[in-house]
Structure 1
């Protein structure tokens, strides 16, 4: 057994992760559009209407999740680039292997557990 993950298996896993993230982003965009449309369809004044704060809060929450999803997509793409470069599964800090368990839990990991905690 090698310390470096099989590139084809890693690529498949990351492709699945990428597709899942794209689906999540599409769903969040739909949610965001629905919240915006709901706020447009009301005469709510966020400062004075008790429901207004809820709409603003929901919009902010969905926007935050969208930004988080976009960042994750960038991380997945960077991990796919590391697969192509032959550096996937190698810690960017110490050069040692990233454990299989860590990559299972976080396929976009750039560092081993020891370096991540440092």
Structure 2
């Protein structure tokens, strides 16, 4: 059986995933700092969220930052899994049905573990 991707193409995917990992780690560090600043600002004030019109804004900002941090952790996990699939030789194969994941999908989302059909059913 002929390999689906050349070694050079697989290395391009690896580099793309590494760059996404670095970007995600930087984003997570920034979000962590944002959350610390929000918590510090809240602790240093005598704000009564229930009666202060700015209180809900602080809570909303914290909630948004927490959600973005969770999404970033999920993305980092997906990137790590994709790099493991590259190492194992199973990169580009749908984890659900075993068919090839289209190259265009992998270019757009190299951490994809499902083909389009299976992803749409998930």
Higher relative contact order (CA 8 A, sep 6+): 1
Unaligned runs of 5+ in 2: none
Aligned to 1:82: 85
Indicate whether 1:50 and 2:76 are aligned.
no
Aligned to 1:34: 37
Q: CA RMSD in A?
A: 1.7
Q: Give the structure-2-normalised TM-score.
A: 0.89
Aligned to 2:103: 100
> Hey, which bits of structure 1, 4+ residues long, moved more than 3 A?
2-5
- Count residues with an aligned counterpart: 118
Q: Give the structure-1-normalised TM-score.
A: 0.91
- Aligned to 2:54, the other structure's residue is in SS state helix
CA contact (8 A) 1:89 1:103 kept: yes
CA deviation map 1:37-91 (0-9, x unaligned): 1111211011111111111111111011111111111111011100000001111
CA drift of 1:31 comes to 1.0
Give me the whole-angstrom Cα distance separating, in 2, the residues matched to 1:60 and 1:96.
39
Aligned to 1:20: 23
Indicate whether 1:61 and 2:40 are aligned.
no
Give me the whole-angstrom Cα distance separating, in 2, the residues matched to 1:108 and 1:83.
10
